Amino acid sequence: MSTCHSAWLQLALRTRFAEVLFLMAFDLKEIVASRLGENYELHERHINRTLVAAQRVIGFDKIYARAEGAYLYDMDNQPYLDFLSGYSVFNFGRNHPIVKQVIRDVLDLDLPNMVQLDCSLLSGLLAEALVKRTPPHLDAVFFCNSGTEGMEGALKFARAATGRQRAVSLTSAFHGLSFGSLSLMGCESFTEGFGPLMEGFDARIQLDDIDELERQLRSRDVAAFVIETVQGKGCQTPKTDFFVRAQELCRKYGTLLISDEVQTGLGRTGKMFGFQHWNLEPDIITIAKSLSGGYVPCGAIITRRDIYQKTFSRMDRCVVHSSTFGRNNLAMACGLAALEIIDQENLVGKAAKMGALLMGKIDELRAKHSFLKETRGKGLMIGIEFQEPQELKLKMTWKLLHKIDKALFAQMVVSQMLGKHHILTQVAGHNLDVIRILPPLIIGEKEVEMFVNALDDVLNECRKFPGPMWELGNNFVKAALGAKRTVEARPTVSA
Ligand SMILES: Cc1ncc(COP(=O)(O)O)c(C=O)c1O
């Protein structure tokens, strides 16, 4: 063997040896196995201790060790039914084998990633796959990393395309927490302390208030009207033909219609996109969440080519809007896998079918429980609203809870659903008597039964006064009264 060859061999051996040494020193599986259980202490010390405090109060301080499909498993391997899907990140369930395989494939292929000044194959393929699933006029795609980033880009595209500055949105909307998205939202619980917000983004109208929308658009200075077709907060949809008329008004006054499909998109509502329930033709849509395959952050703006080109209008503007990680291979591959699974497993149809079944069964409970006011939403994006009970002995306690915080009753239900029945759900927003359920679209009749039986049981318990549920309520009252207290800001000395 030549000297040269042996030097290479030695280097290769040394490198491999270094790798082995590294793996011996850094064994992630071993670390996870030995330190699982320290989760909340670590977060309290280094991350968001206020969130830890809140999770402890409502009994959400569980330690999940594993996840598969529609279930999370704790350290004792007890299953928890996940009716939140990471806020719609897991439309196809958790740790889907096809997504896992695709990630392994990308790693095995040693693809050139994020060269930036090239055109990668996987981003082209994902764009092609997306426009196959959108109406023909939505044919140009921009990739980003999250829902809020999608909205920021959509707002920039709308301004560039119209030469106008203002944006009008809906009250109770949620579009993300970076400045553009935040400025669209009227909800003080998110905006308090962060002002001033963006100029020109302060016109918010009530769902169904078409006259106010026209009053806003008539000045012809509004670049975009932004909607969520099913609002995440409270799961509201219009009671009139508001969306159709809003689209007509947008056309009449030259305003672009942006549909935020970050939550409603990719099958969640029983259609591929929420706007399809009203046969709308939005000018721009944003998607994210499940496009990540549940693994790698991924978002996209899909719009008309003419709108797109108004942003990328000249050679020197070819990267005027961009993001370093926006088209990275792992995210693109996960997006391709996500779309494939949604088709192969007919998840759009399943969401429609299981959503109708679930809403029907929850509605049936209304005959038994006067607490239940309404079930609403579309597909598997469902809100359950509560109301003051008819039973006299419960009215007082209900009123007391609501005087302190309108969401406390809903929180009581959600906490008991998790604590007693191991079903993860969420209150649908600040000051709301609504719980929101977002199950993975893979659920079957078994999971529907589990949820409905658990809700029936929890509402039965609510009718027992005094009883453990109202004791829980009492604890929440105490916590709510102390909620304005600042959670310790001084760094904790590490143990
Ligand atoms: C409708 C909607 N838009 C935007 C966002 C923001 O997405 P992200 O958290 O990925 O920024 C969300 C997040 O929940 C959402 O539900």
pLDDT of residue 22: 64
Answer for the pair 438, 239: CB distance below 8 angstroms, yes or no.
no
% of the chain residues with pLDDT over 70: 93
pLDDT digits 0-9 by tens, 5-45: 556 556 656 666 666 666 667 999 999 999 999 999 999 99
% of the chain residues with pLDDT over 90: 82
Of 267, 308, 313, the C-alpha closest to 287 is 267
Q: Could you tell me the CA-to-CA distances from 16 to 9, 10, 20, 23, 90 in Å, in that order?
A: 10, 10, 6, 10, 37
Q: Could you tell me the CA-to-CA distances from 263 to 235, 423, 467 in Å, in that order?
A: 11, 21, 37
Answer for the pair 459, 406: CB distance below 8 angstroms, yes or no.
no
Answer for the pair 249, 210: CB distance below 8 angstroms, yes or no.
yes
Mean pLDDT of 362-372: 95
Band (401; pLDDT cuts 50, 70, 90): confident
pLDDT of residue 397: 84
Query: In the chain, what are the helix, strand and coil shares in percent, each to the nearest 5?
Result: 50, 15, 40
Phi-psi region of 456 (alpha: psi -120 to 50; beta: other; left: phi over 0): alpha
* β-bridge partners, 257: 225
Q: Which of 184, 275, 289, 381 to mutate to test the pocket of ligand 1 (most atoms within 8 A of CB)?
A: 289
Determine the distance separating the centroid of ligand 1 and the alpha carbon of 312, expressed in angstroms: 25
- C-alpha torsion sign, points 318, 322, 325, 329: negative
Q: Could you tell me the CA-to-CA distances from 37 to 2, 41, 75 in Å, in that order?
A: 54, 9, 8
Distance between CA atoms of 431 and 408, rounded to whole angstroms?
8
Band (495; pLDDT cuts 50, 70, 90): very low
Ligand 1 atom at minimum distance from 87 CA: 14
Which one-letter amino acid corresponds to residue 164?
R
pLDDT digits 0-9 by tens, 460-469: 999 888 888 8
DSSP 281: -
Ligand 1 atom at minimum distance from 232 CA: 16
pLDDT digits 0-9 by tens, 284-314: 999 999 999 999 999 999 999 999 999 999 9
Determine the distance separating the centroid of ligand 1 and the alpha carbon of 148, expressed in angstroms: 6
Answer for the pair 167, 224: CB distance below 8 angstroms, yes or no.
yes
Sheet of 423-424: strands edge to edge?
A: 64-68, 71-74, 79-82, 423-424
Ligand 1 atom at minimum distance from 181 CA: 4
Determine the distance separating the centroid of ligand 1 and the alpha carbon of 172, expressed in angstroms: 13
Mean pLDDT of 99-105: 98
Asked if the bond preceding 466 is cis, omega within 30° of 0, the reply is yes
Determine the distance separating the centroid of ligand 1 and the alpha carbon of 170, expressed in angstroms: 15
Distance between CA atoms of 29 and 471, rounded to whole angstroms?
41
* β-bridge partners, 155: none
Determine the distance separating the centroid of ligand 1 and the alpha carbon of 268, expressed in angstroms: 14
Band (492; pLDDT cuts 50, 70, 90): very low
Determine the distance separating the centroid of ligand 1 and the alpha carbon of 433, expressed in angstroms: 21
Determine the distance separating the centroid of ligand 1 and the alpha carbon of 398, expressed in angstroms: 32
pLDDT of residue 170: 97
Nearest alpha carbon, ligand 1 atom 13: 176
Phi-psi region of 87 (alpha: psi -120 to 50; beta: other; left: phi over 0): left
Determine the distance separating the centroid of ligand 1 and the alpha carbon of 35, expressed in angstroms: 31
Q: Going from the N-terminus, what domains does the chain have, and what CATH number goes with each?
A: 23-92+346-495 (3.90.1150.10), 98-344 (3.40.640.10)
Q: Could you tell me the CA-to-CA distances from 3 to 8, 12, 14, 17, 151 in Å, in that order?
A: 9, 14, 16, 21, 59
Given a cut of 80, whether residue 329 has pLDDT beyond it is: yes
Determine the distance separating the centroid of ligand 1 and the alpha carbon of 416, expressed in angstroms: 27
Q: Give the pocket of ligand 1 (CB within 6 Å).
A: 87, 146-148, 151, 174-176, 228, 232, 260, 262-263, 288
Determine the distance separating the centroid of ligand 1 and the alpha carbon of 176, expressed in angstroms: 5
Distance between CA atoms of 76 and 56, rounded to whole angstroms?
19
Mean pLDDT of 225-241: 96
Helix (H) or strand (E) holding 436: strand 434-437
Q: Which of 88, 174, 227 to mutate to test the pocket of ligand 1 (most atoms within 8 A of CB)?
A: 174
Ligand 1 atom at minimum distance from 289 CA: 10
Nearest alpha carbon, ligand 1 atom 8: 147
CA 207 from centroid of its chain's CA atoms: 21
Burial of 370 (0-12, 13-18, 19+ CB in 10 A): middle
pLDDT of residue 18: 64
Query: What mean pLDDT is reported for the chain?
Result: 93
DSSP 101-136: HHHHHHHHHT-----SSS--HHHHHHHHHHHHHS-T
Determine the distance separating the centroid of ligand 1 and the alpha carbon of 149, expressed in angstroms: 9
Nearest alpha carbon, ligand 1 atom 7: 147
pLDDT of residue 491: 47
Ligand 1 atom at minimum distance from 173 CA: 1
Mean pLDDT of 389-408: 88
pLDDT of residue 472: 84
Given a cut of 50, whether residue 375 has pLDDT beyond it is: yes
pLDDT digits 0-9 by tens, 480-489: 777 766 776 6
Q: What is the dihedral of CA 79, 83, 89, 94, to 10 degrees?
A: 20
Ligand 1 atom at minimum distance from 146 CA: 10
Nearest alpha carbon, ligand 1 atom 4: 175
Band (478; pLDDT cuts 50, 70, 90): confident
pLDDT digits 0-9 by tens, 117-172: 999 999 999 999 999 999 999 999 999 999 999 999 999 999 999 999 999 999 98
